[in-house]
Amino acid sequence: MPDKKKKTNKKNANNKVWKTVGGNVIIWVLIIVMSVTALQLFSTDKKPKQVTYSEFKDFLDAGKIDSAEIVGRTFNGKFRSPEIFENEVTTESKEFTTFVTILPEVSIEMTKSWDDNNIKYEFKGQTFGLTEYLIQFSPWLLIILFWFFLMRKMQGGGGQSGIFNFAKSRAKIISPDTPKTSFKDVAGCEEAKVELQEIVEFLKHPKKFKKLGAKIPRGGLLMGPPGTGKTLLAKAVSGEAGVPFFTISGAEFVEMFVGVGASRVRDLFDQAKRNAPSIIFIDEIDAVGRHRGAGLGGGHDEREQTLNQILVEMDGFDTDDSVILLAATNRPDVLDKALLRPGRFDRQIVIDVPGLEGREAILKIHTKGVPLAKDIDLKTLAKGTPGLAGADLENLVNEAALFAARRNKKKVFNSDLEDAKDKVMMGVERKSMILTQSEREITAYHEGGHALVAYHTKDADPVHKVTIIPRGRALGVTAQLPVDEKHNYSKNYLLGRLDILMGGRCAEKIIFNDTTTGAGNDIAVATDISRKMVTEWGMTDVIGPLAFAQKSEEIFLGRDISQGNDLSNEMCNLIDSEITKLVKAAEVNADKILNKNIDQLHAVAKALLEFETIDGNDLNRLVSGEKIVKIKPDKLSEEKPRRRRSKKDKTTENPSV
């Protein structure tokens, strides 16, 4: 095995040398050709003067010609003394010592006149020197080089995709000798690691499984939302097994030329088999693995041919070929069923958003190289970040380090992490956005309405923070954080969520007897929740437990067009009626809560106008009739961040647009 690695490395080094030499040769050829051409074009002072035959006869009769070389009918003459010629356009004068003219013929009488005028002449054959050859063929050479360059660009250029090997695989090869990623570097997906551990064991000890008649797993499909660590987990499998790792994106298979994708698939699998045991990882496989026949341009496009070749290669795995195919996607609903059957992707591993323990473990990994203060409790921080994926938590730690550096701190403190958490979850503070006093009052009562309805709603998530500082695309934000992890939502909880969402709009109507566009996003979220309650979750008595909604959240071109609507007009009207009832009932409930606690609403709005931001403890004191004392935001020296809402957390926050 070591000898094989050395041979492979030596071969790669030789290829690299030849590529470098070839590139340098092309560059030097271009430089020489351009230099010679420029020399010939711009060195006009060394060129002979072009004269007519009549002028030539005048010079001959006047005895001004000293010597000459005759090539065919071309007379290359030299003057006895420099002759001055005037430019007809610029009227400038210039001296010439040589001239050239074309003779009508070369006869005995003509040569006799040359002898009479004591001209030294000789006849020479027509020859071309290196310069003449370069000048003559340089246009063709430039055309060929330009065509070569254009073809490389059309095929993506660079790397191993030359003019004659554009059908080769673009996969990056990670050698076992490179720094390894192990399962210790991955957290928050313990179940997935257990599933993949068996693949690692097979690659390490294949004989143990073959003795018992166990077959090699053909492939493993990693499914989950973006940022949950699918690619990192695939690298960890390679690092644990200590085998070559071929990684490529699904989009890199498809090019403008027919058959290129299928050819690259064949080359990729051939390389993996030659380096077996090995792992192939295709990221974003949905780029080539979508349902066949779903497009509008026919069923034989380049993408489908690429998918067919992947299926053929997976079926062609020999039992002795220790090659594992791993793939990742966040859209498993659009994949072709042929990919998902047993014998191809045997393992379908779901990697979901991490829970409380998973988030704490992820934070510990990402804070290893960060100097932390003693007051930091990662478990508490993990409790306050529900719905965040591994990539979000990594970004949170990085933002906290940036805050600490900006404030000239030597360590990252809890305040830095809290500010970073607000920035990641709620959005960035737009302090440059100046609101009028009227807009501030409307926003204060709007967010106060959300917070107060949430406080008086049974089983609602506690209010975490309320702010009227513009964050992201919202003029204000009311953020709620659940006490415990929720994986299921009851009907009462969702009805409460609708009440909270309508609280901002109701507060505007009660105080100002008017409504604004600030409730636009609240209405959209409330309508979406109501529609799912009616069409997916069976939470209405009129329609009952019936499902009408499409499972796909996004339109899948071709498939969704081909699927007809099975609902009657009466059922569609009934669904719309039930959705309207839910939203209007929520508005009535929110209105009752706010009118009953109008004094509390004024107190919360007044506090928001004064301090701009209050937390859950401040809200509890205000509702109890107590006054709060805080440092005003204009006296704070440190910059504060904002909160971006994730799709998963739509039901835990109330932003106003």
Please identify every residue annotated as catalytic: 447
How are beta strands 323-329 and 476-480 bridged, if at all? unpaired
A 10 A CB-CB count for 63 gives: 12
Strand order in the sheet with 476-480: 613-615, 463-467, 476-480, 653-656
Closest C-alpha among 377, 384, 519, 388 to residue 464:
384
Residue type (1 letter), 207:
K
CA distance 589 to 657: 22
Q: How far is CA 95 from the centre of its chain?
A: 66
CA distance 228 to 500: 30
Three-state SS at 348: strand
User: Helix/strand/coil (H, E, C) string of 83-125?
Assistant: EEEECCCCCCEEEEEEEEEECCCCCHHHHHHHHHCCCEEEECC
Residues 295 and 301: beta-carbon distance below 8 Å: yes
CA distance 263 to 251: 14
Residues 415 and 446: beta-carbon distance below 8 Å: no
Q: Is the link from the previous residue into 655 a cis peptide, with omega within 30 of 0?
A: no
Residue given tokens 């026919």 in the structure block: 298
Residues 170 and 252: beta-carbon distance below 8 Å: yes
CA distance 201 to 207: 10
User: Helix/strand/coil (H, E, C) string of 491-542?
Assistant: HHHHHHHHHHHHHHHHHHHHHHCCCCHHHHHHHHHHHHHHHHHHHCCCCCCC
Q: Which residues contact 10 (CB under 8 A, 6 or more apart)?
A: none
CA distance 462 to 441: 24
Give the DSSP H/E element, type plus range, for residue 615. strand 613-615
Q: How far is CA 309 from CA 161, 318, 542, 563, in A?
A: 20, 16, 50, 28
Residue type (1 letter), 444:
A
Q: Exposed, middle or buried by CB within 10 Å (0-12, 13-18, 19+), for 189?
A: buried
Phi, psi at residue 518, to the nearest 5°?
Answer: -60, -20
DSSP class of residue 198 equals H
Phi, psi at residue 190, to the nearest 5°?
Answer: -65, -40
Q: How far is CA 407 from CA 394, 402, 415, in A?
A: 20, 9, 11
Q: Give pairs for 196-203: CB < 8 Å, separation 24+.
A: 196/220, 196/233, 196/236, 196/237, 196/347, 196/349, 197/240, 199/237, 199/241, 199/324, 199/347, 200/237, 200/240, 200/241, 202/322, 202/324, 203/241, 203/243, 203/277, 203/279, 203/322, 203/324
Q: Which residues contact 582 (CB under 8 A, 6 or more apart)?
A: 495, 498, 530, 533, 534, 540
Q: How far is CA 105 from CA 53, 66, 100, 127, 530, in A?
A: 11, 20, 15, 20, 101
